């Protein structure tokens, strides 16, 4: 039996949408990208011409409500993820939203709750691309007992992205666009959750080292609203502990990695190069190539369409996982503000302005 065509509308055709989503969707049989809406009409028209998209929409609301669209891809900044998702689900549309899932945990929970009321619709967050290549291999090592009991998790991401005071203000540093999201904390935590138990408590310090930068839209100095240096201590439900060290203002890029230390062994994963080093008790750490049979890849668009067609469920990344990492991000923000530990899961939600 022929599979009905799935018609996709794009809201926000940024770099990831143009480099990943558009070419991959357009290469799939029975899938058509039929509409696009960017912040400005001229930008929408440019993307439509480049990718042969037949329709442009003046507003995201009109795209979401259009009967000629079956699924909505939300590629905007986080401040629009929740309202577009809720409206799309109300309109009977499947939703793939760019990460980070939302502005804060409250929005993420609203999205999760609404998705549970619309179980006939597919909802999915674009997963962290970090560690996809070695995910299955690391998971197999852990399941086979390579680490033994997990003792410590170290997450590092130190870069010079914003080390210069001359670097202009980025949208990710503007609270009204990004919410509680800071640096790449959410994307790294999502990656770590694939291999570690969820944290039950966080204690954090977050700093804005350079408090103002030039706003490229106005040319004026503007306040930086998101931390450029973050340190987090975590306690996990299995008794292990964690350390997150993130910075965008150190003077050299020393890389991004997740290190797992167990009672019997160690797994060090360089997420920038997909290089894995292993060591057991009494052994030196040594590089271990990812076996071909375990090698993972980006398949976001395939997974989304397969879930819509009922071929397999969403596993990476569903709205529940997204809501969990948004709670972690919010807990880090609260702890850094109060200088007190915050327990997870959160019992109440706040907003970025509180």
- The secondary structure of 163-192 as a DSSP string is -STTSPPPGGG-HHHHTT--TTHHHHHHHH
Angle subtended at Cα 236 by Cα 198 and Cα 290, rounded to the nearest 5 degrees = 65
Class of domain 6-129+299-316: alpha beta
Q: What is the pLDDT of residue 265?
A: 97
Q: What is the pLDDT of residue 162?
A: 93
Q: What is the pLDDT of residue 1?
A: 39
Which one is the CATH code of 135-297+327-343: 3.10.180.10, 1.20.1050.10, 3.40.50.300, 3.30.360.10?
3.30.360.10
Do 6-129+299-316 and 135-297+327-343 come out as alike in CATH topology?
A: no
For 141, the token pair is: 């090592």
Q: What is the pLDDT of residue 254?
A: 87
Question: Do residues 168 and 300 make contact, with C-beta atoms less than 8 angstroms apart?
Answer: no
pTM: 0.94
Q: Where are the domains of the chain?
A: 6-129+299-316, 135-297+327-343
DSSP classification of residue 65: H
Q: What is the pLDDT of residue 277?
A: 98
Q: What is the pLDDT of residue 354?
A: 45
Q: What is the pLDDT of residue 3?
A: 61
Q: What is the pLDDT of residue 351?
A: 58
Strand 31-37, strand 55-56: pairing: parallel
Local mean pLDDT, 10-residue blocks, the chain (354 residues): 82 95 97 96 96 97 98 97 98 97 97 97 98 98 97 97 94 93 96 97 97 94 96 97 97 93 98 97 94 97 97 96 96 96 91 50
What is the spatial distance between Cα 266 and Cα 94, in angstroms, rounded to a whole number? 41
Residue reference for tokens 């106005």 = 218
């Amino acid at each position: 039996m022929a599979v009905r065509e799935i018609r996709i509308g794009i809201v926000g055709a940024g770099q990831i949408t143009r480099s990943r989503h558009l070419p991959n969707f357009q290469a799939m049989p029975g899938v058509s990208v039929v509409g696009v809406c960017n912040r400005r009409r001229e930008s929408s028209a440019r993307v439509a011409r480049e990718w042969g998209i037949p329709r442009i929409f003046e507003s995201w609301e009109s795209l979401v409500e259009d009967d000629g669209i079956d699924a909505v891809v939300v590629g905007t900044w986080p401040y629009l993820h929740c309202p577009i998702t809720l409206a799309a689900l109300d309109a009977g549309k499947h939703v793939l939203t760019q990460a980070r899932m939302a502005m804060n945990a409250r929005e993420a929970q609203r999205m999760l709750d609404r998705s549970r009321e619309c179980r006939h619709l597919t909802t999915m967050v674009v997963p962290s691309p970090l560690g996809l290549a070695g995910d299955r291999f690391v998971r197999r090592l852990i399941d086979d007992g390579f680490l033994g009991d997990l003792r410590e998790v170290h997450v590092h991401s130190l870069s010079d992205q914003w080390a210069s005071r001359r670097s202009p203000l980025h949208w990710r540093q503007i609270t009204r666009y990004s919410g509680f999201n800071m640096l790449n904390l959410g994307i790294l935590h999502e990656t770590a959750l694939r291999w570690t138990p969820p944290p039950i408590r966080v204690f954090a310090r977050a700093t804005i080292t350079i408090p103002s930068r030039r706003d490229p839209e106005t040319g004026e100095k503007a306040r930086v609203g998101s931390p450029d240096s973050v340190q987090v201590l975590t306690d996990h439900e299995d008794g292990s502990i964690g350390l997150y060290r993130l910075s965008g203002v150190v003077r050299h890029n020393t890389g991004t990695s997740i290190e797992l230390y167990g009672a019997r062994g160690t797994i060090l994963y360089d997420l920038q190069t997909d290089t894995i080093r292993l060591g057991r008790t009494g052994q030196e750490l040594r590089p271990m190539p990812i076996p071909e049979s375990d090698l993972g890849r980006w398949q976001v668009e395939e997974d989304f369409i397969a879930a819509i067609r009922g071929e397999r469920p969403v596993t990476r990344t569903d709205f529940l996982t997204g809501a969990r990492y948004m709670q972690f991000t919010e807990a880090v923000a609260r702890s850094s503000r109060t200088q007190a530990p915050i327990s997870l899961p959160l019992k109440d939600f706040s907003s970025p302005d509180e």
